[in-house]
Amino acid sequence: MEDNKHQQTHKKHWYDRYYKLILLPPILLLVVCLVYLGIFYANHNDLIYKDASLSGGTTITISEKIDSNLIEQIKQKMPDSYVREINDLASGEHIAVIIDTSLPPEEAQPIIEEIIGFKLTSLNSSIEFTGPSLSNNFYKQLIIAIIISFVLMSFVIFFLFRTFIPSIAVIFAAFADIVFALTFVNIFEIKLSAAGIAAFLMLIGYSVDTDILLTTRVLKKSEGSVNERIFGAFKTGIFMTITGLLAVLPAFFVITGLPDSFRQIFLILAVGLSADIVNTWLTNASIIKWYADAKGIK
């Protein structure tokens, strides 16, 4: 206990001295991400890589073992297709093949059937088709949904704290979470599905938990110094994020047999929550500390 206190007083010193400086790396990172996304947009005329559910096309999942040279043939016959195999992580056994193509199913299905030598029925395969008119519409609407979601979240935050700077700090952290997560999926060339975009909405709601915790502890608590309150909030918050990650990561890494669109939701949440560690405990914490110092909150 004594030791702990001693450590905190020691920490207090460096935190008081450097908290403004700590703001710098995450803001630089945000700028780099924004520049990256800007260049990405200029090159692709879009903010993300879209899968068949957003760009129009067909996803065929065949739950049978298919020889790798047949898979090569499929790739050759349908040049725009994107084929990948799903293996069970535990046994390494081949579970399924997923084929993404811009062709409609009535054209893609015969080509695949000819190569693999058996008929695709509702027992051995799933076929998901989205027409281009719907997928465009989908995409636009989900973007609108993200904006509405963000605005509604901002209203709630303003309503909760009713002070400008602390509220803006929370909203800014949520924005940075989205930008980091978006940059991540683009760097790894992950094709986003409609469900994946929905995950960003979830992220907006989920990631502000720790920011609310931090702001409440600093502004509404009267015991201890501001630094102690920030460190206290950090101890709780980081543990929240860790358990949050434990709830979402297995869906992506352990249970690989789940549908891709489903796993994507959890990948995006995991990336967003990880980004949130930086944005809450470096960015938001420094801003709220700055605010508290300026306002003379003790």
Of residues 208 through 247, those in contact with another protein by CB under 8 A are 208-209, 212-213, 216-217, 220-224, 232, 235-236, 239-240, 242-244, 246-247
Nearer to another protein, 78 or 197 (CB): 197
The H or E element spanning position 59 is strand 57-62
Nearest CB to another protein, comparing residues 26 and 232: 232
Stretch that binds another protein, among 19-27, 37-45, 263-271, 274-282 (CB under 8 A): 263-271
Among 48, 182, 248, 287, contact with another protein (rule: CB under 8 A): 248
Longest CA–CA separation in the chain, Å: 76
**Residue 34 or 95 having the CB closest to another protein:** 95
Q: Which of 135, 279, 278 is nearest to 193 (CA)?
A: 135
Single out the residue of 92, 121, 162, 298 in contact with another protein (rule: CB under 8 A): 121
Give the integer Cα–Cα distance in Å for 147 and 149: 5
From the CB of 22, what's the least distance to another protein, in Å? 23
Beta-carbon-side half-sphere exposure of residue 12 (alpha carbons within 13 Å)? 13
Q: Under the criterion CB under 8 A, does residue 201 sit at the interface with another protein?
A: yes
Span 79-98, contacts to another protein by CB under 8 A: 95-96
- What's the min distance (Å) between Cβ of 228 and another protein? 10
Q: Figure out which of the listed residues 31, 35, 148, 187 binds another protein, where binding follows CB under 8 A.
A: 148
Question: Are the CB atoms for 65 and 57 separated by under 8 Å?
Answer: no
Residue 106 contacts another protein per CB under 8 A: yes
Closer residue to another protein in complex, CB, 111/156: 156
Residues 14-73 that bind another protein (CB under 8 A): 61, 63
Residue labelled with tokens 């959890």: 266
Q: How far apart are CA 49 and CA 55, in angstroms?
A: 9
Question: Could you say which residues in the range 149-178 bind another protein, by CB under 8 A?
Answer: 149-150, 152-153, 155-157, 159-160
Minimum CB separation from another protein for residue 222, in Å?
A: 8
Name which of 22 and 163 has its Cβ closer to another protein.
163
Q: How far is CA 179 from CA 25, 47, 85, 240, in A?
A: 15, 11, 30, 21
Give Cβ neighbours of residue 241 (< 8 Å, ≥ 6 apart): 210, 273, 274, 276, 277
Of 183, 261, 279, 286, the residue at the interface with another protein (CB under 8 A) is 261
Q: Which ranges constitute the DSSP H helices of the chain?
A: 2-22, 24-44, 52-55, 68-77, 105-116, 132-161, 164-187, 194-220, 226-253, 260-278, 285-295
Give whichever of 19 and 266 is closer to another protein, judged by the CB atom. 266
Instruction: Tell me the number of residues near another protein by CB under 8 A.
Output: 80
Q: How far is the CB of 13 from another protein (least distance, A)?
A: 22
What Cα–Cα distance (Å) separates residue 93 from each residue in 96, 125, 188?
Answer: 9, 18, 25
- Would you say 169 and 230 are in contact if contact means Cβ atoms under 8 Å apart? no
